[in-house]
Amino acid sequence: MATVEAGLQSQLRNIEATYGRSVDEWIALIRASGLQRHGEIVAMLKSTNGLPHGAANRLALVALAATAPPPAAEDPADALYAGRAPGLRAIHDRLMGLVSGCGSDVEVAPKKGYLSLRRRTQFAMIKPAAGHVDLGLILPGVPLTGRLESAATFNALFTHRVRVRSVDDVDVELERWLREACARAG
């Protein structure tokens, strides 16, 4: 059974054989025309090159695909914060700014519902919650405070948890904890 891709490749080979130009030559001709809209390219190929609609349509699609910019890399945080309060994403972005200061060897690994932060080993995670962003940290031996709470009921992989309720909570103290966790992991 033939596939759609095989059929499209066969159509391109037939266009090359019938009209005497390679697909690359057709793409170059289309680029040189300066046209960028599908309908305009099809019309030009039909009127100035005598191509039937099907061939002109296929070449226009191929040329547009060849000149399209690559899709932008998707930020894994976009899915985590979709439909959530905008303030949570601002907190996340501020936390990630601190993470970027930990060095270029920090790996951000998207997981279901959170982002894992690793160097040689995992050292933190950032997870959106209903009204705050949870920062899980691995800091064995560091005493708990009112703000640096136990992560025992939150996530067993982490020793500590900080509930970050606003961008103002991303302060020097939190930065120190995050940098310490990062340094221990690397």
Residue 145 Cα to chain centre, angstroms: 36
The DSSP secondary structure of 11-80, one letter per residue, reads HHHHHHHHHS--HHHHHHHHHHHT--SHHHHHHHHHHHH---HHHHHHHHHHHHHHHSPPPPPPPHHHHH
pLDDT digits (tens, 9 = 90+) for 18-77: 999 999 999 999 999 999 899 999 999 999 999 999 999 999 999 988 877 766 557 888
pLDDT digits (tens, 9 = 90+) for 119-147: 999 999 999 999 999 999 999 999 999 89
Q: Decide if pLDDT at 107 tops 70.
A: yes
Q: Decide if pLDDT at 158 tops 60.
A: yes
Helix orientation angle between 53-67 and 38-49, rounded to the nearest 10 degrees:
130
